[in-house]
């Protein structure tokens, strides 16, 4: 990982993403079998459990996907970090609301067991951990039981090791999709769109920000190539971005 290396030229461009832009009304909460909407009591319980297990030398959050480019919480420090024993993967299904719909469901990124994952850790302000965790949990946990519950993991940073909170895939969840090929995943990323945008937009933003930080994820890099190819097969060639 080299933060000074210029970003590579992505195959998936903003022009590809624009091909998928369309207005989709918010369909509202989408219920999954065996799950129910999280309540205020659920949020309070989970935040209390998280804070009870937090280290005393700083509260850090490990981001591997959209938290990298859209954290939506306050932080006072940011570092690149490596989580060993986890890898980044589109293995959380299905998204019928935010970046997918019932006809063209989306997939969500999570970290799954095995390998390693380069990401970013954010240190929350020590005097405002609770309000920031309230915001984060409501963003990441809409249902109970959660398919990717919060947990503390060990990460390595250029400044040394630390313990960070992240959201890791539960393989026992009915939402775990562990057997999709990269080609099948790209087929979904090239078509899925919800009221917040498309999966291609999500993939583009994630890869672009990782590259800007000197983080090259070979799996996502192949996916952005395949997704761009699929979009051009469906909509025709795109100009260079």
Q: 167: domain CATH number?
A: 3.10.490.10
Average pLDDT, integer, range 198-224: 96
49 noted as active-site residue = no
From 72, 140, 182, 201, active-site residue: 140
- Assess if residue 62 is contained within a domain: yes
Q: How confident is the model at residue 1 (pLDDT cuts 50, 70, 90)?
A: very low
| Mean residue pLDDT across the chain | 94
- The answer as to whether 196 is a domain residue is yes
Pairing of strands 36-37, 143-144: antiparallel
**Total of domains in the chain:** 1
Per-residue pLDDT at 197: 95
Domain range enclosing 98: 14-234
Among 233, 207, 234, CA closest to 219: 207
Residue 183 pLDDT > 60: yes
- What is the C-alpha to C-alpha distance for residues 181 and 77, in angstroms, rounded to an integer? 36
Q: Is residue 3, in this structure, part of any structural domain at all?
A: no
Domain for residue 170, yes or no? Answer: yes
Residue 240 lies in a domain: no
Q: Are strands 160-167 and 60-63 parallel, antiparallel or unpaired?
A: parallel
Q: What is the pLDDT of residue 72?
A: 86
Q: Is residue 155 part of a domain?
A: yes
Mean pLDDT, residues 40-65: 96
């Amino acid at each position: 990982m080299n933060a000074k290396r210029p970003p590579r030229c992505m195959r998936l461009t903003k022009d590809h993403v624009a091909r998928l832009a369309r207005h989709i009304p918010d369909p509202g909460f989408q219920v999954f079998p065996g799950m129910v909407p999280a309540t205020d009591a659920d949020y309070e319980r989970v935040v209390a459990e998280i804070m009870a297990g937090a280290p005393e030398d700083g509260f850090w959050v490990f981001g591997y996907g959209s938290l990298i480019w859209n954290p939506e919480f306050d932080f006072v420090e940011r570092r690149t970090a490596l989580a060993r024993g986890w890898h980044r993967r589109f293995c959380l299904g299905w998204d019928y609301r935010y970046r997918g719909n019932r006809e063209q469901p989306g997939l969500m990124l999570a970290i799954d067991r095995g390998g390693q994952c380069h990401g970013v850790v954010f240190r929350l302000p020590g005097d405002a951990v609770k309000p920031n965790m309230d915001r984060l949990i409501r963003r990441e946990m809409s249902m109970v039981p959660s398919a990717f519950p919060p947990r503390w993991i060990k990460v390595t940073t250029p400044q040394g090791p630390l313990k960070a909170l992240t959201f890791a895939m539960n393989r026992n969840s009915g939402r775990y999709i562990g057997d999709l090929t990269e080609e099948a995943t790209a087929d979904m990323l090239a078509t899925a769109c919800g009221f917040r945008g498309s999966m291609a937009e999500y993939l583009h933003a994630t890869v672009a920000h990782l590259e800007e930080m000197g983080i090259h994820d070979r799996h996502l890099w192949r996916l952005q190539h395949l997704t761009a190819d699929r979009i051009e097969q469906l909509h025709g060639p795109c100009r260079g971005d």
